[in-house]
Each structure stands twice: as structure tokens, then as C-alpha cells.
Amino acid sequence: MNSPLLSQSFTPQRYDLFAGLDVDKRSIAVSFLDQQGNLRSLRMPYGAKPLLNYVHKHFPTQKVIFAYEAGPTGWGLYDEVTAKGHPCIVVSPAMVPRAPGQRVKTNRLDSRKLAQGLRGGELKGVHVPSTPYRQLRHLVQLRDTLVRQITATKLRLKALLLFEGIAFPEAPAGSQWSRRVRAELKALPCSAAVRFKLDRLLAQLEFTGQQTRQTLKEIHRLCQQEPELERCLLYLRSIPGIGAIVATHLLARIGDWRQLENVRQIGAFLGVVPREESTGEDIRRGPIMRSGDSRLRSKLIQSAWAAIRQDAELREFYRRIYQRHHRDQAARKAIVAVARKLTTRIYCVLKEQRPYVLKAQSASPPLRAEEVEGLQGETRRQAEA
């Protein structure tokens, strides 16, 4: 789980007992800490039932709050604990305070650290997605996995031909993997072993492509079945530069729009805000944070390139940022700034539940040659892939 959106914190004074859980697939290390600092640690089999039975038996009258780190065990424990009326927060591992000099790490110590963080009010839970958003996230992750497999298979095909000294079939940019090219690859003269490997890679490419198309259809079907997903996707796609693939990935990662708190939250979640180390009047900002889902951030930047073609306001904004920086870095910094501006539009259409309306714009000159270096490089990279 990658850097989920943070939700509001809680008030420790409202609870009598703080339960820190270090969860793995077989067991749970539990540390119970009360307001006076009394600690009880134990280990039990994985599952909410033994945990809740223990709490009911030993702490029947105390108000208990639970916390565990987001990880491969997912949201099942959260669902069962909250279904019994107990508050539970899921914490991003990166947001758990850690002592710089600590060199010992065990499950018991980790659960104790969570319990102490709960009692001190230092922990902040992440947004736990509801069922439709979880299902959408599964499908989006599957699609991204399949796309990566397709890219890897294409690279293996090209590497095989390069190793054997066989020229890749000529094709215009953007159509290097058309049906004609694939047919030529199937008919290339080569040795039996190379032919066998080449045919297997081509079959794998075709199979993975078919799986990707089926996954896209399933994403479309799920969004049609869920009115809220369908409505939010419509709003996101009304933003210039954002298409169906980027919109579904955004919605899968952001989750329920009702949990959004402010306009800065999405930018920080996607890691497109700058790092800052300011002291007093000395303001020092560095490169972007790069937190969150790197694939989604990459897609958002690609959307920014499409947006400046369609939206004159964003194109002028890109130009202003571009002119402030050295030419070697101008395109990259300007397009990231456009991506950051897109996050404010994303927040607005989701929070206000309305489509984006493109303002009437005066004619804007197209981007100059030196301003589109990044765009040309990005287009070339996608075509070669």
C-alpha cells in the first residue's frame, strides 16, 4: 500500500486503553497500554476473533482503540474490529515516529511503539477505502501489471533481434507494434531456436494484450454498476488532459471524495509538491517529494502534457514557469507545475461534485520549439516503448 491519503487524527483522552498491533500473515503481536503507562504485551493467532475475545474477557468495561500499520494483510482486520464497535486506525508505516538510534526491531517492539504513539496522539490514520473503491483499485493495479508485462515483452523481443543481428521491421513512429509489424516478425528468417523463442514472446505479447483489454472492459463494467464511480469518473474526465485510464487510477487511489479535507491534500498525496527546509526568513525549497504512487504521478504528468495542448490557460501557465528556469530544466519543472495545478482541478470537481467547465479563452500562440523539448522526449519515449 503506497502512501494512502491521511485522515483526521483522534483524541487520546477519550480512550482508556491503546492497543498497538503488529500484524503478519500468521500472528498478531499486541501491546495494550493504558493512560497510566501500564503495558501488557502478548502474541496471538492472526484474526480479529481471538483479539476481540481477549479484549472482551480482560477489558470488558474499558474503551479501547486499535491501530496497525497498512501492509499486505489489507483491510480485513479493520473491517472486523470496527464492525464490533471498536475504533481502529490504519497507519502508514512511513508516518510512524521512529527513534534515529534504534537498532533493534521485533514484532513486540513495533506493537509497543504503535501503542505508545496512540496514547501520545502521534499517529494519524489513513483513509480506508470502501468496497467499490477497493474493487476498482484491484482492477487498476492488474491493468498496470499487465501493461508493464507488455512493455517488458516488447523489450525482450527487440533485445533478441539485436543480439542476433536481425533488423526490426521498419515502421512509422507510433505503429512499431501494428499487425503488419507483428506479421513480419512471425515471418522473419532465423534459426530454429531463435524462431521458437521469438514465437513464444509474440504469443505472450498477444495473450497479455488480450488480458489487458479484458481488464479494461471489467473496469468499465464495474464503473457502470456503481453510480458514484460513474459520476466521479465523468467529472474527472471533464478536466482537459485527463482520460479514462488516468481518471480510473486517480479515483482508485484517492477513494471516497467525502474524505478529502483541503485542496493541498491531493498534490501532497501524489508527491508533486516541493520539499521544503525553511528556517525563519530563509525559505529553501527543493525537488518534488515523489511520495505516493509513482505510476499515477507519471500518468498525471503525461496528462499535463496533453492539457497544455488543449487549455490555453494552462499553456500560458506552463510558459510562465518555463521562462523562470534554465533551459536544461525548464520543461521538466514547468510540466510538473502544470501537474500540480491539475490536482487543484481534480479536488474541485470531486469535492463540489460537478464537471469542469473550460473558460472562454483568448487565442494563445502554440508552444515554441524550445518549449516542447520535454513533450517531444516524452512522445518519443512512449513510441519506442
With both helix axes pointing from N to C terminus, report the angle between 244-254 and 327-351 in degrees, rounded to the nearest 10.
70
Residue type, 379: T
Query: Any idea of the CA torsion for 377, 380, 382, 385, to the nearest 10 degrees?
Result: -130
Cell of 138: 484491484
Phi and psi of 34, rounded to 5°? -100, 180
- CA angle, residues 78, 79, 81, in degrees to nearest 5: 65
- Mean pLDDT, 10 residues at a time, over the chain (385 residues)? 57 92 94 93 94 94 94 92 93 85 86 93 89 95 97 96 93 89 93 95 97 97 95 96 96 91 89 79 76 90 94 93 88 93 95 88 62 53 42
The DSSP line for 312-324 is HHHHHHHHHHHHT
Q: Which sign does the torsion angle of CA 205, 207, 208, 213 carry?
A: positive
Entry pTM: 0.85
The angle formed by the CA atoms of residues 368, 372 and 375, to the nearest 5 degrees, is: 155
Contact between 122 and 12 (Cβ < 8 Å): no
The H or E element containing residue 17 is strand 17-23
What is the greatest pairwise CA distance in the chain? 79
SS3 15: coil
Q: Classify 103 as helix, strand or coil.
A: coil
The phi-psi region of residue 2 (left if phi > 0; otherwise alpha if psi is between -120 and 50; otherwise beta) is beta
Query: Do residues 117 and 10 lie in contact, with contact meaning Cβ atoms separated by under 8 Å?
Result: no
Supply the pLDDT for residue 48. Answer: 94
Answer whether 205's CB lies under 8 Å from 150's CB.
Answer: yes
Bridge partners, 21 (sequence order): 30, 68
Per-residue model confidence (pLDDT) at position 380: 46
∠ CA 119-78-21, nearest 5°, is: 45
DSSP 41-77: EEEEESSHHHHHHHHHHH-TTS-EEEEEE-STTTTHH
CB atoms within 10 A of CB 290: 11
**Domains of the chain and CATH, by start:** 12-119 (3.30.420.10), 131-225 (no CATH), 231-277+284-384 (no CATH)
Distance CA 257, CA 96 (A): 25
